[in-house]
Structure 1
Amino acid sequence: MALKLRSPMPELSGATEWLNGSEISKDELVGNKPTLFHFWSVSCGLCKEAMPNINEFRDKYADKLNVIAIHMPRSEKDTDVDQIKQVAEEHGISQLIAVDNGHKITDSFENEYVPAYYVFDEVGQLRHFQAGGSGMKMLTKRVNRVLGIKEE
């Protein structure tokens, strides 16, 4: 069961490791700007296919949107941090990555899927959730809405 809309942002504690920066807390994000969390896994093909879209959000809205990757292993093999670093590099994931080998963050989000996307507004309320490989148009719409960007 995933988080309900308007749920407060869960805590981000319990990551095994943080890549591309230092650990960040919910308190540092809430009240700042909207945040997009994307759950992915090195063994997930759909995650890799979606990565250019996520990187585009990160680059296009760098001053308006926090983009944070949560690596959720689907098997023991997925917990290899060197492999996570390698795949992150191959796919241009330069944003902060929480390596969640103990599923602590995954559990706090009640997340069961990769890829999965959670969009929180600047006050830390969940405004959109989606899972699976399709629907980038829908995700873009929701991100734009949270950012107050008018659709063309």
Structure 2
Amino acid sequence: MKLREQMPELIGAAEWLNGQVTREELIGDKPTLIHFWSISCHLCKEAMPQVNQFRDDFKDKLNVIAVHMPRSENDLNIEEIKRVAVEHGITQPIFIDSEHKLTELFENQYVPAYYVFDRDGKLRHFQAGGSGMKMLEKRVNRVLDELEKTE
């Protein structure tokens, strides 16, 4: 995905955990952070406390959606995904992307990966990898600041 492109439809989930959301429910409401992760990804698990902190700190200002992107056959076990989600405190909606349908719409190749969309559903920031949470926080704050200036 390129910056300023519209958020893709959230379609093709094998299953949703912790509730289901649509693109329409996210756009026009508030900015959205969509993060890709996998149960076999060590960096994802290391970053999860920071993602959860983010979710909690910005709960009234930011939508947070998780996308589980399998990297191997072992990552397709829904019960294991549920177990790891509980173990790591992932309470936001989780899109289980067993067939990589959403992954392909996002043209995503990485876990962890973070996509920040503004309230209008335009991509404003992308980053991949386990580090750089400070940069992610800066970008989210920038989108939130823009939102406050327009209200």
Name the TM tier (shorter chain).
Answer: over 0.9
Whole-Å Cα distance in 1 between the matches of residues 72 and 144 of structure 2? 35
SS at match of 1:58: helix
**Who is 2:78 aligned against?**
81
Q: CA RMSD in A?
A: 0.9
Q: Which amino acid aligns with 1:10?
A: P
Q: Which amino acid aligns with 1:27?
A: E
**Who is 2:6 aligned against?**
8
Which residue, out of 66, 90, 94, partners 2:87?
90
**Who is 2:119 aligned against?**
122
Which residue, out of 107, 111, 119, partners 1:110?
107
Deviations 1:98-148 (A, max 9, x none): 000010111110101000000000000000000011111100100111111
Whole-Å Cα distance in 2 between the matches of residues 117 and 144 of structure 1? 14
Which residue, out of 125, 136, 139, partners 1:139?
136
Q: CA deviation at 1:24?
A: 1.5
TM-score by length of 1: 0.94
- Alignment size in residue pairs: 146
Q: CA deviation at 1:27?
A: 1.0
Please state which structure has a larger fraction of its residues in helix. 2
Whole-Å Cα distance in 2 between the matches of residues 4 and 31 of structure 1? 20
Structure 1 segments of 4+ aligned residues over 3 angstroms from their partners = none
Q: Which amino acid aligns with 2:119?
A: E
Deviations 1:75-111 (A, max 9, x none): 0110100000000011000000000001011111010
Whole-Å Cα distance in 1 between the matches of residues 101 and 22 of structure 2? 14
Q: CA deviation at 1:25?
A: 1.3
Uncovered stretches (5+) of structure 1, i.e. residues with no partner? none
Deviations 1:6-33 (A, max 9, x none): 0100110100000011x22111111110
